Amino acid sequence: MSADRAHFPPVEPVAAGLKGRCPRCGEGRLFSGYLTLRPGCANCGLDYGFADAGDGPAVFVILIIGFIVVGLALWVEVSFGPPLWLHFIIWIPLAIVGSLVPLRLFKGVLITLQYANKAAEGRLDGDK
C-alpha cells in the first residue's frame, strides 16, 4: 500500500464502502461474492491484499442487531405476552436477515476506511 504512486481523484470512503466499490478509484468492484474480496480492482489495478476487516463487521452487527432484536422481544413479551412459538417465528428470521444485510455494508466501509487512513498492523519500537 505504501508503493501507491497513482493519482486518482479522492474517493469518499464511506460511500465507496457502502456501494462495494474500490477504495482508490471508486469504480471497480470490491467483492466477488457476498463477503469474498476480489484479489484486486479491475479498473485501477489496486491489490486488495492490504484489506483485513477481521471480525470488526461481525462485532458491530451482533451488537447493533442484538440490541434491537432483544429490546423488541422484551417489549413484545411485556406488552402482549405471546406464546413462545410466536417469539421464535418473529425474532429468529428477523435476527438472521437483520444480521446478513448490514454485514457486507460494514465490511465494505471498514476496508475502504482502512485504505483511506493507511491503516497497518501495529508495531513495537524494536520492530523493523
Count up the domains in the chain and report the number.
1
In a domain, 42, yes or no: yes
Q: Which domain holds residue 42?
A: 13-116
In a domain, residue 68? The reply is yes
pLDDT tens per residue, range 94-114: 999 999 999 999 999 999 999
> Are the C-beta atoms of residues 28 and 39 closer than 8 Å to each other?
no
55 within some domain: yes
pTM of the model: 0.84
Evaluated on CA atoms 98, 100, 101, 103, the torsion sign reads positive
Residue 106 near residue 112 (C-beta atoms within 8 A): no
At 76, list the grid cell: 413484545
Cell of 105: 455494508
Domain assignment of residue 127, yes or no: no
In-domain check, residue 121: no
How many residues belong to the chain?
128
Residue 92 domain-assigned (yes or no): yes
* Alpha carbons 112 and 30: distance in angstroms, whole number: 9
pLDDT in tens, the chain (128 residues): 555 566 788 899 999 999 999 999 999 999 999 999 999 999 999 999 988 888 999 999 999 999 999 999 999 999 999 999 999 999 999 999 999 999 999 999 999 999 999 888 877 876 66
